[in-house]
Amino acid sequence: MKLAKSKNARFLLASTSEIYGEPQITPQHEKYRGNVNTIGIRSCYDEGKRIAETLTMEYNRQYNIDTRIIRIFNTYGPNMDPEDGRVITNLINQAINNEDITIYGDGEQTRSFCYVDDLIDGMIKCMNSEYNLPINLGNPIEMKIKEIAELILLLTNSKSKLIRIPLPEDDPTNRKPDINIARTILSWEPKVDLIMGLKKTIHYFKLLN
């Protein structure tokens, strides 16, 4: 932030949907202040992003720095780190290696998955806009974890079996972005179909194996 101030540069904060915590509303819109456990095992990340938004806006107000804040929902695509522990990464790696696919809890928890090209397009449009309040970037199509696991099994023609393990503490049960601001201000919404995006991602991970 100090560098942006010294260079009179526009600053982009990559925030996250995790600032909403375990949301009590769906879809989640930018004015919703969230429901975060401040002392939970995920709180370092959740609260870290929340204070980052606070500091970004303070620099905007105090020093007139030109800032942008995007709240990124689940994103996937080629070139992901195979060891990053993200849900799409884990499911694809397990499926193409015919390993048991681990589903946390009953798999009824939901996420929304945005292809990386769409996210980058949204980031560029945000930086080129004059809007400096937080803005959701994500896919508003909500899916259950067990549904995405079953789809990946189908697309990989895997022999893996679904197994259930305990749900981690404070793991959010739902994620669905309200992207009305992105549609209105940025003329942005995801374009890449989930199946097409998953096929490209699966192809990438197969090349690594």
Give the residue numbers annotated as catalytic, written as ranges: 45
* Model confidence at 5: pLDDT above 90: no
* Model confidence at 155: pLDDT above 90: yes
Residues whose CB falls within 8 Å of the CB of residue 94, separated by 6 or more in sequence, listed in order: 100, 101, 102, 160
2 or 137, which is more confident: 137
DSSP state, 67?
E
pLDDT band at residue 1 using 50, 70 and 90 as cut-offs: confident
Q: What is the CATH architecture assignment of 2-208?
A: 3-Layer(aba) Sandwich (3.40)
pLDDT in tens, 89-139: 999 999 999 999 999 999 999 999 999 999 999 999 999 999 999 999 999
Rounded Cα gap, residues 186 and 131, in angstroms:
9
Q: Alpha-carbon torsion 70, 75, 78, 82, what sign?
A: positive
* Model confidence at 171: pLDDT above 90: no
Cβ neighbours, 10 Å, residue 142: 16
